[in-house]
Amino acid sequence: MTLRQELASVVKALLSSEEEPIGLNLIGERLGALAITPAELEELFAELESAGRSIAGDKSEAASGVLGQVIDAARELRSELGRAARVGEVAARAGLSEERVRASLLLVQVMQR
């Protein structure tokens, strides 16, 4: 899979960062409001790792219960809506910013690897 141009630009920006390992918060900031599929996220991670960079989750997000709030809200909304919830919907339900929801969803992706 080849990353689309917007995501390739995100990878380039992340690779130019001096942060090591690259944190999920930084990835979330660079993605901003850009929509990304799970397959694209995996490819983004693979690109970073193939360039010799490592990715780390923000343990404080998981420890503070934010991750649980996001997962609970996403599950409730999936049940109610009959589809995967959008980031904004999860954020509204969980009472969190969209940025924190995105960071939590990225953490879940990293934890599943």
The H-or-E segment that residue 55 falls in is strand 55-56
Whole-structure pTM value: 0.59
> What does each C-alpha distance from 26 to 1, 38, 85, 89, 93 come to in angstroms?
23, 18, 23, 22, 24
| Per-residue pLDDT, 51 | 94
More confident residue, 25 or 4: 4
Q: Is CATH 3.30.2010 the classification given to domain 59-111?
A: no
Going from N- to C-terminal start, the domains of the chain cover 5-56, 59-111
Per-residue pLDDT tens over the stretch 18-65: 988 888 778 888 887 777 777 788 788 889 999 999 888 665 555 457
Residue 8 burial (CB count, 10 A): 13
| Per-residue pLDDT, 63 | 47
Q: Calculate what percentage of the chain has a pLDDT beyond 90.
A: 32
